[in-house]
Amino acid sequence: MSCGCRSQLRAFICASLLPAAVLAAAANTIYKQQLPDGQIVYSDHRIKGAKLLYKVDMPDAQAPAGTPAPRPDPKPDVAALDRRLRERSAALERAQREIVDAGQALDLAKRELELGKEPLPTEMQSNAMGGTRVLPQYYDRLKKLEQGVEQAQVRADRAYEALNQLR
């Protein structure tokens, strides 16, 4: 190709792309799409059969460039934030209260277990040889006390997990 043909070709390409650039600048939405043959195309409308890669919403061209966009009223945001903070604070207080209550219940269950290890007089039976033996009621009561400690421990663990999830 001669040098004159190249410059004419460049001028033709620039002239044909200029309206597309002007239309794209005036458009409110620009789409980046991939044609089935793999070619990437930017357009102000969707192309049938093309895969949408990216979409950009442009601000209106009518607004002056130096004028900032109007800001939304901050009062609803402050009120919503305040409400969320109060709800979070209340949830944290409830979690702390549950930890204290669960800890107290665990301490009480452990104390009851410790005191309950000694058989009660009704849980003992004398035998013919002058000795005594422990009745099954003692083991049942001890098992219930141990289950009480386990349940209190589970409650305390859940209370700590709930607090950690809130943090």
Do residues 162 and 93 make contact, with C-beta atoms less than 8 angstroms apart? no
Same domain? For 53 and 79 the reply is no
Number of domains in the chain: 2
Is residue 82 located within the same domain as residue 15?
no
Q: In this structure, are 122 and 90 located in the same domain?
A: yes
Q: What is the Cα–Cα distance from 114 to 149, expressed in whole angstroms?
A: 11
Residues 155 and 78 in one domain: yes
82 and 160 fall within a common domain: yes
Is the pLDDT at 67 greater than 90? The verdict is no
Q: Quick one: 109 exposed, middle or buried, by C-beta within 10 A (0-12, 13-18, 19+)?
A: buried
* Same-domain check for residues 80 and 145: yes
- Look at residue 89 and tell me if it is in a domain: yes
Domain that holds residue 40: 3-57
The full 3-state SS of the chain, as one line of letters, equals: CCHHHHHHHHHHHHHHHHHHHHHHHHCCEEEEEECCCCCEEEECCCCCCCEEEEEEECCCCCCCCCCCCCCCCHHHHHHHHHHHHHHHHHHHHHHHHHHHHHHHHHHHHHHHHHHHCCCCHHHEEECCCCCEEECHHHHHHHHHHHHHHHHHHHHHHHHHHHHHHHC
Mean pLDDT to the nearest integer, 39-50: 86
The pLDDT tens digits for 97-130 are 999 999 999 999 999 999 999 999 999 998 888 8
Is the domain of 151 the same as that of 95?
yes
Among 57, 85, 101, identify where a domain stops. 57
Residue 69 within a domain: no
> Per-residue confidence at 5, pLDDT binned at 50, 70, 90?
low
Residues 52 and 94 in one domain: no
Higher pLDDT, 67 or 29: 29
pLDDT value at position 18?
52
Q: What is the mean pLDDT of the chain?
A: 81
**pLDDT higher than 60, residue 62:** no
